Amino acid sequence: MNIKAPKGTKDILPADSYKWQFIEDNFSKMAREFGYGEIRTPMFENTALFKRSVGETSDIVQKEMYTFNDMGKRSLTLKPEGTSPAVRAFSCSTDVRAIKPHKYYYDIPCFRYENTQEGRYREFHQFGVEIFGSDSMLSDAEVIALADSFLRKMGIDDLELRINSVGCKECRPVYRKALQDYLMPNFYKLSDDSKKRFETNPMRILDSKEECDKELVENAPTILDYLCDDCRKAFTDIKLLLDEMNIAYIVDSGIVRGLDYYTKTAFEFISKRLGSQGTVCGGGRYDHLVKEIGGQDLTGVGFGMGKERLLMLMSENGHNFGGIYKPDYFVAFVSDEARLYAINLVNALRNSGKSAIIDVCERKLKSQMKLADKVDAKYSIIIGEDEINSNKLTIKDMTTGNQIKVDRNELLRV
Ligand code: HAM
Ranges of each domain in the chain: 14-158+247-316, 329-413
Q: Are 8 and 114 in contact (CB under 8 A)?
A: yes
Nearest-CA residue for ligand 1 atom 23 is 306
Nearest-CA residue for ligand 1 atom 21 is 120
Mean pLDDT of 94-116: 90
Mean pLDDT of 92-116: 90
Q: Which positions ≥6 away from 308 have C-beta within 8 Å? A: 10, 119, 121, 124, 125
By DSSP bridging, strand 279-286 and strand 263-270 are antiparallel
Closest-lying ligand 1 atom to the alpha carbon of residue 84: 27
Residue-wise pLDDT for 141-169, tens only, equals 999 999 999 999 999 999 999 999 999 99
Alpha carbon 249 to its chain's center:
21
Q: What distances in angstroms separate CA 354 from CA 339, 349, 373, 392, one per listed residue?
A: 19, 5, 18, 18
pLDDT score recorded for residue 233: 98
Q: Which CATH number fits domain 329-413: 3.30.70.270, 3.40.50.800, 3.40.50.2300, 3.40.1010.10?
A: 3.40.50.800
Round to whole Å and give the CA distance between 383 and 242: 61
What single string gives the DSSP state of each residue in 202-261?
GGGGGG---HHHHHHHTT---GGGT--HHHHHHHHHHHHHHHHTT---EE-TT---SSTT
For ligand 1, whether the C-beta of 130 sits within 6 Å is yes
Maximum distance among all Cα pairs of the chain, rounded to whole angstroms: 95
Q: What's the pLDDT band for 207 if we cut at 50, 70, 90?
A: confident
pLDDT score recorded for residue 274: 87
Q: Are 292 and 88 in contact (CB under 8 A)?
A: no
pLDDT score recorded for residue 63: 92
Residue-wise pLDDT for 263-322, tens only, equals 999 999 999 998 888 999 999 999 999 999 988 899 999 999 999 999 999 999 999 999
Q: Are 68 and 94 in contact (CB under 8 A)?
A: no
Q: Is the pLDDT of residue 99 over 90?
A: no
pLDDT score recorded for residue 96: 61
For ligand 1, whether the C-beta of 269 sits within 6 Å is no
Round to whole Å and give the CA distance between 212 and 50: 31
pLDDT score recorded for residue 46: 97
Round to whole Å and give the CA distance between 237 and 231: 10
Q: How far is the CA of 304 from the centre of ligand 1 (A)?
A: 5
Q: Are 163 and 266 in contact (CB under 8 A)?
A: yes
What backbone torsions phi and psi does residue 392 show, to the nearest 5 degrees?
-100, 125
Mean pLDDT of 40-61: 94
Sheet hosting strand 75-78, strand order edge to edge = 44-46, 75-78, 67-69
N-to-C CA span, the chain: 53
Testing ligand 1's pocket by substitution, the residue of 23, 65, 66, 81 carrying the most ligand atoms inside 8 A of its CB is 81
Mean pLDDT, the chain, rounded, equals: 95
Residues of the chain with pLDDT > 70: what percent? 100
CA atoms within 13 A on the CB side of 380: 22
- Please report, as a single letter, which amino acid is at residue 333: F
Going through 12-171 in order, the beta strands assigned E by DSSP cover 37-38, 44-46, 67-69, 75-78, 102-111, 123-132, 160-165
Residues of the chain with pLDDT > 90: what percent? 91
> What is the CATH topology of the domain spanning 14-158+247-316?
BirA Bifunctional Protein; domain 2 (3.30.930)
Mean pLDDT of 83-89: 96
Round to whole Å and give the CA distance between 171 and 221: 14
- Please report, as a single letter, which amino acid is at residue 237: D
Q: What distances in angstroms separate CA 403 from CA 329, 350, 384, one per listed residue?
A: 13, 22, 16
Testing ligand 1's pocket by substitution, the residue of 110, 255, 261 carrying the most ligand atoms inside 8 A of its CB is 110
Q: What's the pLDDT band for 324 if we cut at 50, 70, 90?
A: confident
Q: How far is the CA of 257 from the centre of ligand 1 (A)?
A: 10
Could you tell me the sign of the dihedral formed by the alpha carbons of 80, 81, 86, 91, in that order?
A: negative
For ligand 1, whether the C-beta of 303 sits within 6 Å is yes
Residue-wise pLDDT for 211-266, tens only, equals 999 999 999 999 999 999 999 999 999 999 999 999 999 999 999 998 989 999 99
